[in-house]
Amino acid sequence: MDASAPNELPVPSAAALLGWYDRHRRSMPWRALPGEAPDPYRVWLSEVMLQQTTVAAVAPRFERFVARFPTVHALAAAPEADVMQEWAGLGYYARARNLHACARAVVAAGGFPRDLVGLRTLPGVGDYTAAAVASIAFGVPAVPVDGNVERVAARVFAIDAPLPGGRRAIDRAAMRLGEDAAARARPADFTQALFDLGATICTPRSPACALCPWRGACAGLRAGAPERLPVRAARRVRPVRHGAAFWLEDAGGRVLLRRRPARGLLGGMLELPGTAWGDQVGPEAAPQPAEWALAGQAVHGFTHFELRLDVYVGRVAEVAAEGVLVAADALDGAGLPTAMMRCVFVARRFIGR
Protein backbone atom coordinates (compact mmCIF):
# COMPACT_ATOMS: atom_id res chain seq x y z
CA MET A 1 0.00 0.00 0.00
CA ASP A 2 1.23 3.50 -0.77
CA ALA A 3 2.49 5.40 2.31
CA SER A 4 -0.19 8.08 1.81
CA ALA A 5 -3.03 5.58 1.63
CA PRO A 6 -3.59 5.28 5.42
CA ASN A 7 -4.90 8.87 5.40
CA GLU A 8 -7.74 7.72 3.14
CA LEU A 9 -8.90 4.94 5.46
CA PRO A 10 -11.42 5.52 8.26
CA VAL A 11 -10.13 5.62 11.82
CA PRO A 12 -11.43 2.70 13.89
CA SER A 13 -13.73 3.42 16.83
CA ALA A 14 -11.88 4.38 20.00
CA ALA A 15 -15.10 3.70 21.94
CA ALA A 16 -15.03 0.08 20.74
CA LEU A 17 -11.41 -0.31 21.88
CA LEU A 18 -12.11 1.34 25.24
CA GLY A 19 -15.14 -0.91 25.80
CA TRP A 20 -12.92 -3.93 25.15
CA TYR A 21 -10.27 -2.52 27.49
CA ASP A 22 -12.76 -1.97 30.30
CA ARG A 23 -13.56 -5.68 30.16
CA HIS A 24 -10.10 -7.10 29.56
CA ARG A 25 -7.51 -4.66 30.92
CA ARG A 26 -4.36 -6.25 32.30
CA SER A 27 -3.44 -5.86 35.95
CA MET A 28 0.12 -4.60 36.45
CA PRO A 29 1.91 -3.28 39.53
CA TRP A 30 2.45 0.17 37.99
CA ARG A 31 -1.06 0.56 36.57
CA ALA A 32 -3.66 2.50 38.57
CA LEU A 33 -6.93 0.73 39.25
CA PRO A 34 -10.15 2.13 37.75
CA GLY A 35 -11.03 5.32 39.60
CA GLU A 36 -7.53 5.75 41.07
CA ALA A 37 -5.23 8.60 40.13
CA PRO A 38 -2.06 7.32 38.47
CA ASP A 39 1.28 7.92 40.23
CA PRO A 40 3.58 9.75 37.77
CA TYR A 41 6.64 8.20 39.43
CA ARG A 42 5.41 4.67 38.90
CA VAL A 43 4.25 5.42 35.36
CA TRP A 44 7.60 6.94 34.40
CA LEU A 45 9.64 4.21 36.12
CA SER A 46 7.68 1.44 34.42
CA GLU A 47 8.08 3.01 31.00
CA VAL A 48 11.85 3.28 31.42
CA MET A 49 12.08 -0.30 32.69
CA LEU A 50 9.92 -1.67 29.87
CA GLN A 51 12.13 -0.30 27.10
CA GLN A 52 13.63 -3.34 25.33
CA THR A 53 12.34 -5.59 28.14
CA THR A 54 9.21 -7.71 28.56
CA VAL A 55 6.38 -7.14 31.03
CA ALA A 56 6.98 -10.60 32.53
CA ALA A 57 10.62 -9.75 33.22
CA VAL A 58 9.93 -6.25 34.53
CA ALA A 59 7.00 -6.87 36.91
CA PRO A 60 8.95 -8.52 39.78
CA ARG A 61 11.90 -6.17 39.31
CA PHE A 62 9.59 -3.16 39.38
CA GLU A 63 8.12 -4.20 42.71
CA ARG A 64 11.58 -4.79 44.17
CA PHE A 65 12.79 -1.43 42.85
CA VAL A 66 9.91 0.58 44.34
CA ALA A 67 10.29 -1.28 47.63
CA ARG A 68 13.84 0.07 47.79
CA PHE A 69 13.09 3.47 46.21
CA PRO A 70 9.37 4.08 46.90
CA THR A 71 9.27 7.69 45.67
CA VAL A 72 11.09 9.87 43.20
CA HIS A 73 12.62 11.67 46.20
CA ALA A 74 14.02 8.40 47.55
CA LEU A 75 15.48 7.57 44.16
CA ALA A 76 17.02 11.02 43.77
CA ALA A 77 18.64 10.81 47.22
CA ALA A 78 20.17 7.37 46.64
CA PRO A 79 23.83 6.95 45.61
CA GLU A 80 24.19 6.14 41.92
CA ALA A 81 25.98 2.89 42.78
CA ASP A 82 22.89 1.68 44.67
CA VAL A 83 20.66 2.47 41.70
CA MET A 84 22.99 0.65 39.32
CA GLN A 85 23.07 -2.35 41.65
CA GLU A 86 19.27 -2.54 41.75
CA TRP A 87 19.12 -2.19 37.97
CA ALA A 88 21.56 -5.06 37.34
CA GLY A 89 20.17 -7.64 34.96
CA LEU A 90 17.73 -5.29 33.23
CA GLY A 91 20.28 -4.30 30.59
CA TYR A 92 20.82 -1.03 28.72
CA TYR A 93 22.53 0.47 31.75
CA ALA A 94 22.59 4.01 30.41
CA ARG A 95 18.88 3.95 31.28
CA ALA A 96 19.73 3.53 34.96
CA ARG A 97 22.11 6.50 34.94
CA ASN A 98 19.53 8.61 33.13
CA LEU A 99 16.85 7.39 35.54
CA HIS A 100 18.87 8.65 38.50
CA ALA A 101 19.66 11.97 36.80
CA CYS A 102 16.01 12.37 35.84
CA ALA A 103 14.83 11.74 39.41
CA ARG A 104 17.15 14.46 40.65
CA ALA A 105 15.92 16.86 37.97
CA VAL A 106 12.29 16.14 38.90
CA VAL A 107 12.95 16.75 42.59
CA ALA A 108 14.83 19.96 41.81
CA ALA A 109 11.89 21.15 39.69
CA GLY A 110 9.35 20.35 42.40
CA GLY A 111 7.68 17.52 40.50
CA PHE A 112 7.16 16.02 37.09
CA PRO A 113 6.30 18.41 34.25
CA ARG A 114 2.71 17.82 33.16
CA ASP A 115 3.09 18.44 29.45
CA LEU A 116 5.02 16.96 26.52
CA VAL A 117 7.42 19.88 26.16
CA GLY A 118 8.40 19.87 29.81
CA LEU A 119 8.76 16.10 30.00
CA ARG A 120 11.08 16.06 26.98
CA THR A 121 13.53 18.30 28.84
CA LEU A 122 14.19 15.61 31.46
CA PRO A 123 17.34 13.44 31.19
CA GLY A 124 16.70 10.25 29.24
CA VAL A 125 13.12 11.18 28.28
CA GLY A 126 12.49 11.03 24.54
CA ASP A 127 9.36 11.41 22.48
CA TYR A 128 7.95 7.99 23.35
CA THR A 129 8.45 8.22 27.12
CA ALA A 130 7.18 11.79 27.21
CA ALA A 131 4.01 10.79 25.37
CA ALA A 132 3.46 7.74 27.58
CA VAL A 133 3.88 9.66 30.85
CA ALA A 134 1.89 12.65 29.62
CA SER A 135 -1.06 10.55 28.48
CA ILE A 136 -1.16 7.99 31.30
CA ALA A 137 -0.16 10.15 34.26
CA PHE A 138 -1.56 13.54 33.25
CA GLY A 139 -4.34 12.86 30.73
CA VAL A 140 -2.66 14.63 27.81
CA PRO A 141 -4.07 13.44 24.44
CA ALA A 142 -0.96 11.82 22.98
CA VAL A 143 -0.20 8.44 21.39
CA PRO A 144 3.12 6.88 22.43
CA VAL A 145 4.31 4.53 19.70
CA ASP A 146 6.01 1.45 21.11
CA GLY A 147 6.31 -1.91 19.37
CA ASN A 148 2.73 -2.85 20.22
CA VAL A 149 1.22 0.38 18.91
CA GLU A 150 3.45 0.27 15.84
CA ARG A 151 2.15 -3.21 15.03
CA VAL A 152 -1.49 -2.26 15.56
CA ALA A 153 -1.21 0.85 13.38
CA ALA A 154 0.62 -0.97 10.60
CA ARG A 155 -2.09 -3.62 10.47
CA VAL A 156 -5.14 -1.41 10.88
CA PHE A 157 -4.00 0.78 7.99
CA ALA A 158 -2.20 -2.02 6.05
CA ILE A 159 1.11 -0.16 5.87
CA ASP A 160 3.59 -2.43 4.14
CA ALA A 161 6.55 -0.06 3.76
CA PRO A 162 9.48 -1.99 5.30
CA LEU A 163 10.93 -0.84 8.60
CA PRO A 164 12.81 1.17 9.56
CA GLY A 165 11.99 3.35 6.54
CA GLY A 166 8.25 2.87 6.98
CA ARG A 167 8.27 4.04 10.59
CA ARG A 168 7.32 7.62 9.75
CA ALA A 169 4.17 6.51 7.94
CA ILE A 170 3.29 4.20 10.83
CA ASP A 171 3.83 7.00 13.37
CA ARG A 172 1.49 9.28 11.40
CA ALA A 173 -1.11 6.52 11.27
CA ALA A 174 -0.80 5.93 15.02
CA MET A 175 -1.44 9.62 15.67
CA ARG A 176 -4.69 9.30 13.70
CA LEU A 177 -5.86 6.57 16.07
CA GLY A 178 -5.90 9.10 18.89
CA GLU A 179 -7.92 11.73 17.05
CA ASP A 180 -11.27 10.10 17.87
CA ALA A 181 -13.29 12.07 20.47
CA ALA A 182 -13.56 9.03 22.74
CA ALA A 183 -9.78 8.63 22.71
CA ARG A 184 -9.27 12.29 23.62
CA ALA A 185 -11.79 11.99 26.43
CA ARG A 186 -9.87 9.12 28.08
CA PRO A 187 -6.21 9.54 27.06
CA ALA A 188 -4.72 7.37 29.81
CA ASP A 189 -7.08 4.47 29.18
CA PHE A 190 -6.75 4.79 25.42
CA THR A 191 -2.95 4.58 25.55
CA GLN A 192 -3.06 1.55 27.82
CA ALA A 193 -5.78 -0.04 25.68
CA LEU A 194 -3.51 0.22 22.64
CA PHE A 195 -0.69 -1.39 24.63
CA ASP A 196 -2.95 -4.23 25.74
CA LEU A 197 -4.42 -4.76 22.28
CA GLY A 198 -0.97 -5.19 20.77
CA ALA A 199 0.31 -7.36 23.63
CA THR A 200 -2.63 -9.75 23.91
CA ILE A 201 -4.62 -9.71 20.63
CA CYS A 202 -2.61 -8.12 17.82
CA THR A 203 0.46 -10.20 18.62
CA PRO A 204 3.48 -10.56 16.32
CA ARG A 205 2.57 -14.12 15.32
CA SER A 206 -0.88 -15.66 15.09
CA PRO A 207 -2.92 -12.56 16.06
CA ALA A 208 -6.33 -13.37 17.55
CA CYS A 209 -8.22 -11.34 14.96
CA ALA A 210 -11.58 -12.96 15.79
CA LEU A 211 -11.40 -11.40 19.27
CA CYS A 212 -10.21 -7.96 18.16
CA PRO A 213 -12.57 -5.00 18.71
CA TRP A 214 -11.14 -3.40 15.55
CA ARG A 215 -11.40 -6.42 13.26
CA GLY A 216 -14.13 -4.80 11.15
CA ALA A 217 -11.98 -1.73 10.48
CA CYS A 218 -8.63 -3.51 9.97
CA ALA A 219 -7.36 -3.09 6.40
CA GLY A 220 -4.56 -5.54 7.11
CA LEU A 221 -7.07 -8.26 7.99
CA ARG A 222 -9.11 -7.53 4.88
CA ALA A 223 -5.97 -7.78 2.76
CA GLY A 224 -5.14 -11.16 4.31
CA ALA A 225 -2.14 -12.30 6.38
CA PRO A 226 -2.03 -9.39 8.87
CA GLU A 227 0.75 -11.24 10.72
CA ARG A 228 3.19 -10.21 7.98
CA LEU A 229 2.81 -6.55 9.04
CA PRO A 230 4.78 -4.53 9.85
CA VAL A 231 7.35 -5.60 7.27
CA ARG A 232 10.86 -5.65 8.63
CA ALA A 233 14.05 -5.39 6.63
CA ALA A 234 16.40 -8.36 6.90
CA ARG A 235 18.56 -8.16 10.01
CA ARG A 236 22.24 -7.54 9.61
CA VAL A 237 24.59 -10.15 11.00
CA ARG A 238 25.99 -8.85 14.28
CA PRO A 239 29.78 -8.62 14.47
CA VAL A 240 31.55 -10.68 17.14
CA ARG A 241 33.94 -9.22 19.71
CA HIS A 242 36.25 -11.26 21.90
CA GLY A 243 37.85 -10.75 25.27
CA ALA A 244 38.79 -12.42 28.53
CA ALA A 245 37.36 -12.25 32.05
CA PHE A 246 39.27 -13.36 35.15
CA TRP A 247 37.88 -15.03 38.27
CA LEU A 248 40.64 -14.31 40.79
CA GLU A 249 39.85 -15.84 44.19
CA ASP A 250 41.81 -15.48 47.42
CA ALA A 251 42.27 -17.96 50.25
CA GLY A 252 39.19 -16.61 51.98
CA GLY A 253 36.91 -17.39 49.05
CA ARG A 254 36.61 -13.76 47.94
CA VAL A 255 36.59 -12.78 44.26
CA LEU A 256 38.12 -9.63 42.77
CA LEU A 257 35.73 -7.20 41.10
CA ARG A 258 36.38 -3.88 39.42
CA ARG A 259 34.09 -1.01 38.46
CA ARG A 260 33.86 -0.05 34.81
CA PRO A 261 34.34 3.60 33.75
CA ALA A 262 31.30 5.74 34.45
CA ARG A 263 30.62 6.39 30.78
CA GLY A 264 30.32 3.86 28.01
CA LEU A 265 28.83 0.39 27.74
CA LEU A 266 27.90 -1.00 31.19
CA GLY A 267 29.20 2.28 32.59
CA GLY A 268 29.70 2.30 36.35
CA MET A 269 28.87 -1.39 36.75
CA LEU A 270 30.96 -3.92 38.65
CA GLU A 271 32.65 -6.65 36.61
CA LEU A 272 35.21 -9.38 36.76
CA PRO A 273 38.57 -7.90 35.72
CA GLY A 274 39.08 -8.40 32.02
CA THR A 275 40.48 -7.18 28.77
CA ALA A 276 39.19 -4.75 26.20
CA TRP A 277 36.58 -6.28 23.92
CA GLY A 278 38.13 -6.73 20.53
CA ASP A 279 40.59 -9.41 19.53
CA GLN A 280 41.15 -12.79 21.13
CA VAL A 281 43.45 -12.59 24.17
CA GLY A 282 44.83 -14.99 26.74
CA PRO A 283 45.75 -15.10 30.44
CA GLU A 284 48.80 -12.89 29.90
CA ALA A 285 46.44 -9.94 30.43
CA ALA A 286 45.34 -11.17 33.89
CA PRO A 287 45.24 -8.74 36.85
CA GLN A 288 48.10 -10.53 38.68
CA PRO A 289 50.20 -13.69 38.33
CA ALA A 290 48.40 -16.94 39.16
CA GLU A 291 47.93 -20.45 37.85
CA TRP A 292 45.21 -19.71 35.33
CA ALA A 293 42.86 -22.35 33.95
CA LEU A 294 40.47 -21.76 31.06
CA ALA A 295 37.00 -22.44 32.49
CA GLY A 296 35.03 -21.94 29.28
CA GLN A 297 33.46 -19.19 27.25
CA ALA A 298 30.58 -16.85 28.13
CA VAL A 299 28.50 -15.47 25.26
CA HIS A 300 26.28 -12.40 25.57
CA GLY A 301 24.34 -10.53 22.90
CA PHE A 302 24.35 -6.74 22.91
CA THR A 303 22.25 -4.73 20.48
CA HIS A 304 24.98 -4.18 17.93
CA PHE A 305 27.43 -7.01 18.55
CA GLU A 306 27.91 -10.41 20.13
CA LEU A 307 30.46 -10.67 22.94
CA ARG A 308 32.44 -13.85 23.57
CA LEU A 309 34.53 -13.85 26.73
CA ASP A 310 37.01 -16.58 27.62
CA VAL A 311 36.71 -17.07 31.36
CA TYR A 312 39.87 -17.90 33.32
CA VAL A 313 39.91 -19.10 36.92
CA GLY A 314 42.87 -18.53 39.22
CA ARG A 315 43.51 -18.75 42.96
CA VAL A 316 46.05 -16.89 45.09
CA ALA A 317 46.71 -16.64 48.82
CA GLU A 318 46.16 -12.89 48.73
CA VAL A 319 44.84 -10.59 46.01
CA ALA A 320 47.21 -7.71 45.41
CA ALA A 321 45.43 -6.15 42.42
CA GLU A 322 43.22 -3.09 42.78
CA GLY A 323 39.49 -3.56 43.08
CA VAL A 324 36.94 -4.81 45.59
CA LEU A 325 36.74 -8.30 47.06
CA VAL A 326 33.33 -9.94 47.30
CA ALA A 327 32.55 -13.35 48.77
CA ALA A 328 32.06 -15.84 45.95
CA ASP A 329 28.64 -16.86 47.30
CA ALA A 330 27.53 -13.20 47.44
CA LEU A 331 28.10 -12.39 43.77
CA ASP A 332 24.43 -12.91 42.89
CA GLY A 333 23.59 -9.85 44.96
CA ALA A 334 26.54 -7.71 43.93
CA GLY A 335 24.73 -6.00 41.07
CA LEU A 336 26.75 -7.52 38.25
CA PRO A 337 25.36 -6.98 34.74
CA THR A 338 24.05 -10.00 32.87
CA ALA A 339 27.18 -10.33 30.72
CA MET A 340 29.28 -10.69 33.87
CA MET A 341 26.85 -13.08 35.54
CA ARG A 342 27.28 -15.35 32.53
CA CYS A 343 31.02 -15.33 33.26
CA VAL A 344 30.32 -16.10 36.92
CA PHE A 345 28.19 -19.06 35.87
CA VAL A 346 31.00 -20.43 33.68
CA ALA A 347 33.54 -20.07 36.49
CA ARG A 348 31.27 -21.65 39.11
CA ARG A 349 30.50 -24.58 36.86
CA PHE A 350 34.22 -25.13 36.29
CA ILE A 351 35.13 -25.12 39.99
CA GLY A 352 32.09 -27.17 40.96
CA ARG A 353 29.97 -24.66 42.88
Whole-number Cα distances in Å, 159 to 126, 153, 280: 25, 8, 45
Q: Which residue of the set 8, 36, 47, 63 is catalytic?
A: 47
- Residue of 245, 247, 257, 249 lying closest to 316 (CA atoms): 249
CA distance 92 to 292: 31
CA distance 257 to 347: 14
Active site residue 47: yes
Q: 318 with 347: CB under 8 angstroms?
A: no
CA distance 285 to 265: 21
129: which residues sit within 8 A by CB, 6+ positions away? 44, 47, 48, 51, 119, 144
CA distance 23 to 242: 51
Query: Catalytic positions, please?
Result: 47
